[in-house]
Structure 1
Amino acid sequence: MSRSLLRSVLELRTPITRLPPPFLLPIRAATAAPTPARTLTTTTQNIDSAAPPTSPAPAQTSIPPTTAPPSNPNSNSAPPAPARREATAASDASVKELLPLLRAQPGHYITAHIHGFPYLVTPGDQVRLPFRMPGVLPGDVLRLDRASVLGSRDYMLKGAPWVDDSLFECRAVVLGTESEPLRVKVKTKRRNRRAQRVTSKHKYTVLRISELKILEP
């Protein structure tokens, strides 16, 4: 007997357990099974009517007393107003006491600042400024009111940062403007045959200190 015939006989003997395809099944109405209702259970506390309701005690917060921070000598904080006033009064007293001694000594000098450049000068000195001062003409008299140091042979008054302009009077006369000889500089670059010629001719302003007086405080 061939194998195919034996296989067909065995299939006929075994019961058919497989279902037919879904398109051959009868149409049935889909009825959803009722879901049991959910019941909410609430838990209640038995409160004794005889006992009065107790309210939670309010939280007590204690505010610590404010204390001033310790003074740090290395800090850059400004001193309080009373200390500053005492220091100012002490400096004024020392200036009133020692300034007459500075006036009495000869050989006064001053460190004047002109356009941010400091110059230590005495009466009769000439100052050659490394720039051309704008807005001045030869013969003009300038008052130098910004100085950081004012001194004599044995005494010196330093400003913080400037000395009070009511303590001195310094005047300078504009002598004129000068210019240096024309300078030519040849600038070259590597692997480049082109050479560039740069010319420069700086101009200067010349001042002469005509007067330096130390005034009374």
Structure 2
Amino acid sequence: MASLLRPTLRGVAARALHTQTGSPSTTPNALSLLRSQPSHYVIASLAGRKYLLTPRDLLTVPRLNDVQVGDVLKLSDIHEIGSREYTIRGNPTIPPEQVKVEATVVEHTKGKMEVIFKKKRRKGYERTVRHKQTYTRLRIGPIDIVENPSS
């Protein structure tokens, strides 16, 4: 029984040592800590849904009618930015002056053929509806954390 408790105690001690570095007191300090990390991710709202995005991701969203292939979209509703060690959450969003993320429209495409079969028993009513859902594919650009948001 004592041998079963020993690894748990070691895990708690290791976790406590890892979290002793203290959290930064201001947002610019937190952003500079986050900037020093090698890779970043964001959670952003696009077309009414939240997506976890990293640079060079290919994102498929429901069709955006008002954009053309090659257009660059600036993501403004960023809810969270983070790396392996640190995370900053907005309340409800992070101001667009602090984090810049762009998405380039790669293509407008369609999904697979959907077949919907409707029938009413004993009435002779049968309908087959076929359709393809339209989508827009976006390539996520680099995530830029601004050095000094005030300038």
> Whose strand fraction is larger, Structure 1's or Structure 2's?
2
User: Partners in 1 of 2:60 and 2:144 — Cα distance?
Assistant: 22
Q: Pick 1 or 2: higher relative contact order, CA cutoff 8 A, min separation 6.
A: 2
Q: 1: CA distance between counterparts of 2:30 and 2:47? A: 30
Normalized against structure 1, the TM-score is what?
A: 0.55
Q: Which residue of 2 aligns with 1:201?
A: 132
DSSP 3-state at the match of 1:161: strand
Q: Unaligned stretches of 5+ in structure 1? A: 1-91
Q: TM-score, normalised by structure 2?
A: 0.77
Any runs of at least 4 consecutive aligned residues in structure 1 with deviations exceeding 4 A, and if so which?
A: none
User: 2:58 aligned to 96, 104, 126, which one?
Assistant: 126
2:36 maps to which of 98, 104, 107 = 104
Other structure's SS at 1:184 match: strand
Q: C-alpha distance in 2, partners of 1:155/1:175?
A: 31
Tell me whether 1:94 sits opposite 2:23 in the alignment: no
Aligned length: 125
2: distance between equivalents of 1:121 and 1:170?
10
Aligned AA (1:167): Q
RMSD across aligned positions (CA): 1.5
State which structure, 1 or 2, has the greater radius of gyration over its C-alpha atoms. Answer: 1
Instruction: Name the SS for the 1:101 alignment partner.
Output: helix
- Tell me if 1:141 matches 2:83: no
Identify if the C-alpha distance between structure 1 residues 164 and 93 changes in structure 2 by more than 3 Å, giving closer, same or farther. Answer: farther
Percent of aligned positions that are identical: 36
Gapped runs of 5+ residues in structure 2? Answer: 1-23
